[in-house]
Amino acid sequence: MTAGNSSELERRLGYIFENKGLLTEALTHRSFYYENPDKSTTHNERLEFLGDSVLGFVIVEYLFLSDKNLTESAMAKIKSYLVKESVLSEIAGVLSLGEYLRLGKGEEATGGRKKKSLLSDAVEAVLGAIYIEGGYQKAREVVLGLFREKIDTIMHSAVLSDYKTELQERTQLLFNTLPEYRVIKQEGEEHKKVFTIEVYIDGKRLGMGTGRSKKEAQTFAAKEALLKLPSEKV
């Protein structure tokens, strides 16, 4: 890796390395290291391990600060989704990271530049390298630059269903019963309906939510209800 051919990758990352050797290390697979001891003194697995922790912390911190009502369970599920191999390899695709990997002949011959496992590991290694050189704040900026849209989308949509799961688990634990959702209002044209739904626990109304689908309205109702329940039996 030379300063010349790393510039486009650094532009996509939004971070310019002073120590290009650190970036080279982050992009060096162990297959290259073992096959080319004269051209490489190390590979990227230590940086990958570090980057994994940096990525996880940035995501959890962002979730914690973004929504005080997110439960531990919800944050854990969002984080788990975002650090999956499939998501990291998507990020690698945005960066065209496969083009920059240093691979051994065997990995090169078997399509290593497109392997999700190698790509996801390289993303973490690059984040680890940014953290080592630029510190936490720079690493955080890069992570959020790459992941914020995915985080916000998940927080607003799919993971909202976690509120329903959490409420169901909590009401079973506390009252040995399940939540009951009641549609109290439907407004708008057929393709632009807005639903208002209330949730009842043991006959008592604990939450209300409005959404463009019944599921969305239920999740907002469940979110409100969770705030009124104790976390465990007293």
Residue 231 within a domain: no
Of 101, 133, 156, which marks where a domain is finished? Answer: 156
Q: Tell me the residue range of the domain where 166 lies.
A: 161-226
Q: Are residues 52 and 141 in the same domain?
A: yes
Of 133, 156, 179, which marks where a domain is finished? Answer: 156
Q: What is the CATH number of the domain that holds 91?
A: 1.10.1520.10
User: Mind listing the pLDDT tens digit for each residue in 65-109?
Assistant: 998 777 787 788 889 989 999 999 999 999 999 999 999 999 999
Predicted TM-score (pTM) of this structure: 0.70
Active-site option among 124, 162, 166, 198: 124
Q: Are residues 89 and 198 in the same domain?
A: no
What's the rounded Cα separation, in Å, for the pair 164 and 175? 16
Residue 124 is among the residues annotated as catalytic for this protein: yes
CB 6 within 8 A of CB 100: yes
Residue 52 is among the residues annotated as catalytic for this protein: yes
Q: Are residues 152 and 187 in the same domain?
A: no
CB 220 within 8 A of CB 210: yes
Cβ burial of 160 (10 Å; 0-12, 13-18, 19+) is buried
- In eight-state DSSP terms, residue 199 is E
State mean pLDDT over 177-204: 92
Counted domains in the chain:
2
Q: Are residues 42 and 93 in the same domain?
A: yes
User: Mind listing the pLDDT tens digit for each residue in 100-113?
Assistant: 999 999 999 999 99
Alpha-helical regions (H) of 45-160: 45-66, 72-82, 85-95, 105-109, 116-156
Active-site option among 25, 48, 52, 224: 52
State mean pLDDT over 22-34: 94
CB 79 within 8 A of CB 58: no
What's the rounded Cα separation, in Å, for the pair 170 and 44? 43
